Amino acid sequence: MKNIKLMYSKMTCLLALVFLVTISCDRDLSEEAEFADFAKTSEIFIEAPIGLGTDFYFPFSGSKATAWSVDESEGYESQVSMRFDVPNADDPEGSYAGAIFRIDGSGRDLTGYDALTFWAKASQGVTIGELGFGTDFEENKYQTTIQNTSLSTSWTKYIIPIPDPSKLIEERGMFWYSAGTQETGGLGYTFWIDDLKFEKLGTLGTPVPSIGEDRTVQAFIGTNTVVGNRSVIFNLPSGVNQTVIPALSYFDWSSSDPSVVAVEDFGRIEMISNGMSVITATMAGVQATGAVTFEVLGEFESAPIPPARDPADVISIFSNAYNDVPVDYYNGYFAPFQTTQGQDDIFVNGDRVINYTDLNFVGIGTFVDVSPINANEMTHFHVDINVREAIQAGDFIRLQLINNVGGVETSGDITIDGSQFQSEEWISLDIPLADFNGLSVRNELGLIFFISDATISNIYVDNVYYYKE
Amino acid sequence: MMSKTIKYIIKGKTFLFMSFLLVTLFVISSCDTDETQTVATFTNLVMSDEFDTDGALDSELWNHEIGTGVNGWGNNELQYYTDRTENVKVENGYLLITANREDFNGSLYTSARITTQGLFEQAYGRFEARIKVPSGKGIWPAFWLLGNDCETNIWPQCGEIDIMEFLGDNPTTIFGSVHGPGYSAGQAVTKSYTLENDRYDTGFHVFGIEWSPESINYYVDDALYQTITPADVPGEWVFDSKFYIILNVAVGGNFPGAPNDETTFPQSMLVDYVRVYQQ
């Protein structure tokens, strides 16, 4: 049988050749056209980078760009490995190490593998914040992450299971990492990675995907969101469970009522009409535990649109009306006293709105990796706040601005009494910067705090900016 | 029945061939086994349960053992064995023995243990089962044989042949062992077999022994991984009498240790078939 098939295909070739010669002007796809085969190369780094092209290393913003190098005196069963020098937190060239390794060219077909594996050790016992693959700085469609990987001072093999290999038909994001000094008191260290490659292990347990605990989320027509708390647990050949954080696209999402809540590309979820719908998901045919019930309440009432202003008269922190300056975060999640959840996670017709829940205090940061705000030329601070609950006597929101965070700090605050808000209504606040008691300098503003001491726990926030009148 | 018979004969032949191949290899590479060893071949099917009828077990072949035994079946095991369908049933062509986490008669876990004691007992032959094991720390499934006179001829004198034991936190390895006088429990004659590119809890594997007066050969699928002869045991050879079959899933105990936070329940052992051949 095999011989016959071979001969047949040879004849097809011959025929095809003849075809090519005679009707080569016809550019239509023939019936036998197949998709291009992408490289199935497994290795990423053994004694040198393999098949990555020339321009493949892209550091994260704020990280030390020179953290990665090839060390020719250390290696797992060799003399060569990848070396990562995580800088001290106060390194002027970058406060952490992090980057992606992206193929300079076409991606690889990884469907025949089930894990990314490597050997690693560190200059001291340390946990590496995030390691993974699938990050390409484009769609990051199949970003895959393991967190808090514990490295010792001796070479150990690590396994990052692929959540669903059948999805990875052309992947360029071969590896990514992010390592800081939160657990080493700001002091740098070195770790090495060697024999980084995709493998077909066959020894991974059946994946157990999850989209978190069952929960109900209230939302508005026209808003869209994504389901967080995604994970998939694999039992490793060692018997230890490894939790992997998979990108949305590894899941197949479904909505119990698509006329209420629709699932769009990449797992984005859009609120269509009033009602309830339950979102569930599968991964590689396995039902994920957990379900998210969306209760769609109607149209979202957007914050008032800010007036048009000369760009030179505005420094926008969070607004769709103006161009925002770079911001570190909209929620610093300050442990251990902060309870506040939420950040810029409501999307209404393309506009982003912050929803802080469980509010006691929360900060918007502009001092870690971005330039602090010089508001010397500005006269006012603006914010729109919509309180999502009944307002009671004693409720308040205190706004606090902090200058030169971590240096010679200066701060000023102003307390807005609850009586100035109305439940479920947008209230616009325009506060002269001079009214922030104690704010004697404002050339390096690094934090904007919203403080309620839990008197008010659920607010929408929009249009945060400084302006000159 | 006719087609079944034919199937078995073909299978037997395949196996015969396999055995010769493997044994040849074994002789060449082995350093601790007598080179004059003979291979027993068993092609005559004398007992099989294909678990084709949903519901309860065939009561003409299987007993249920109930309770916690003495000292957790001698191993400080944590489960209470029941004959409830929550713990043992036949479904979709498989026997399911299921360990659950539940308070039951003073135990924290329930499971099941079935035997052919008094119903099917035999000396020598090929004993095999096709099994997909459960997993997780503290989960301890087994397919094994016990001498049918253990009630009067106290263990380990009565003999125990463990065809397959599996510890749920070591998903790529199984153990095959014999226990007898002078070589029991921690001193049993045992060998492990580790899969290189597969694991035991994600698919079915055939676990078998070929037991003759001269030796007990241990197999996983097509691989012979251990031969135990009378010369290999540091005591009396007690494997010349009738033994019966036991299938169970234990939870906790001296060998596997207790389940931990990562152990999920229920955990089911699926058995596709149990077959016994004679010469």
Distance CA A63, CA B264 (A): 40
Query: Domains in chain A, start-ordered, CATH in brackets?
Result: 43-199 (2.60.120.430), 208-299 (2.60.40.1080), 311-467 (2.60.120.430)
At residue A31, the pLDDT reads: 55
Query: Domains in chain B, start-ordered, CATH in brackets?
Result: 43-278 (2.60.120.200)
Mean pLDDT lowest for which of A33-42, A406-415, B107-116? A33-42
Residue B137 is nearest to which of A202, A205, A239, comparing CB atoms? A239
Confidence of residue A30 (pLDDT cuts 50, 70, 90): low
**Residue range A324-346: average pLDDT?**
84
* Cβ-based burial of A372 (10 A; exposed 0-12, middle 13-18, buried ≥19): buried
Neighbours of B115 (CB within 10 A): 21
Residue A205 is nearest to which of B135, B195, B197, comparing CB atoms? B135
Bridge partners, residue B125, by sequence: B211
- Kindly determine whether residue B197 and residue A204, on different chains, have CB atoms separated by under 8 Å: no
Distance CA A102, CA A140 (A): 11
Q: What is the DSSP string of A57-99?
A: EEEPTTB-TT-EEEESS--SSSS-EEEEEEPPTT-TT-SBEEE
Confidence of residue A267 (pLDDT cuts 50, 70, 90): confident
| CA dist list (Å): A218 to A292, A299, A304, A424, A461 | 10, 12, 22, 14, 17
Higher-scoring residue by pLDDT: A78, A298: A78
Confidence of residue A32 (pLDDT cuts 50, 70, 90): low
Confidence of residue A115 (pLDDT cuts 50, 70, 90): very high
At residue A26, the pLDDT reads: 44
- Kindly determine whether residue A202 and residue B262, on different chains, have CB atoms separated by under 8 Å: no
Residues in chain A: 469
Mean pLDDT lowest for which of A15-29, A304-318, B105-119, B148-162? A15-29
Q: Which residues of chain B have pLDDT under 70?
A: 1-40
**Chain A partners of B135 at a C-beta cutoff of 8 Å?**
205, 235, 239
The values of phi and psi at residue B30, to 5°, are -80, 145
Residue A202 is nearest to which of B135, B198, B201, comparing CB atoms? B198
Residue B171 is nearest to which of A200, A205, A208, comparing CB atoms? A205
Is the bond into B141 cis (omega within 30 degrees of 0)?
no
> What pLDDT, in 10s, does the model give residues A185-221?
999 999 999 999 999 999 999 999 999 999 998 888 8
Give catalytic residue positions of B.
Answer: 160, 165
Mutate to test the interface with B, among A114, A117, A159, A203 (most CBs of B within 10 A): A203
Mean pLDDT lowest for which of A190-194, A347-351, A403-407? A347-351
Q: Which residues contact A271 (CB under 8 A, 6 or more apart)?
A: A219, A220, A221, A222, A223, A224, A260, A261, A294, A296
At residue B23, the pLDDT reads: 37
CB pairs under 8 A between A and B: 37
Mutate to test the interface with B, among A208, A231, A234, A235 (most CBs of B within 10 A): A235
Confidence of residue A9 (pLDDT cuts 50, 70, 90): very low
Distance CA B220, CA B231 (A): 23
**Chain A partners of B195 at a C-beta cutoff of 8 Å?**
202-203
Confidence of residue A36 (pLDDT cuts 50, 70, 90): low
List the Cα angle B54/B59/B64 in 5-degree steps: 95
Nearest chain B residue to A113 by CA: give it: B197
List the Cα angle B52/B57/B58 in 5-degree steps: 85
- Kindly determine whether residue A206 and residue B197, on different chains, have CB atoms separated by under 8 Å: no
The minimum CA-CA distance between B265 and chain A, rounded to whole Å, is 13
- Kindly determine whether residue B199 and residue A241, on different chains, have CB atoms separated by under 8 Å: no
Residue A202 is nearest to which of B168, B197, B262, comparing CB atoms? B197
**Residue range A33-53: average pLDDT?**
87
Confidence of residue A343 (pLDDT cuts 50, 70, 90): confident
At residue A223, the pLDDT reads: 83
At residue B17, the pLDDT reads: 38
At residue A14, the pLDDT reads: 37
- Kindly determine whether residue A200 and residue B197, on different chains, have CB atoms separated by under 8 Å: yes
> Which residues in A have their CB inside 8 Å of a CB on B?
200-206, 208, 235, 237, 239, 241
**Chain B partners of A235 at a C-beta cutoff of 8 Å?**
135-136, 171, 201
Residue type, A91: D
- Kindly determine whether residue B199 and residue A237, on different chains, have CB atoms separated by under 8 Å: yes
Average confidence score pLDDT of chain A: 90
**Residue range A84-113: average pLDDT?**
96
For chain A, give the percent of residues with pLDDT over 90: 78
- Kindly determine whether residue A203 and residue B135, on different chains, have CB atoms separated by under 8 Å: no
The minimum CA-CA distance between A379 and chain B, rounded to whole Å, is 57
Stretch (H or E) spanning B3: helix B2-29
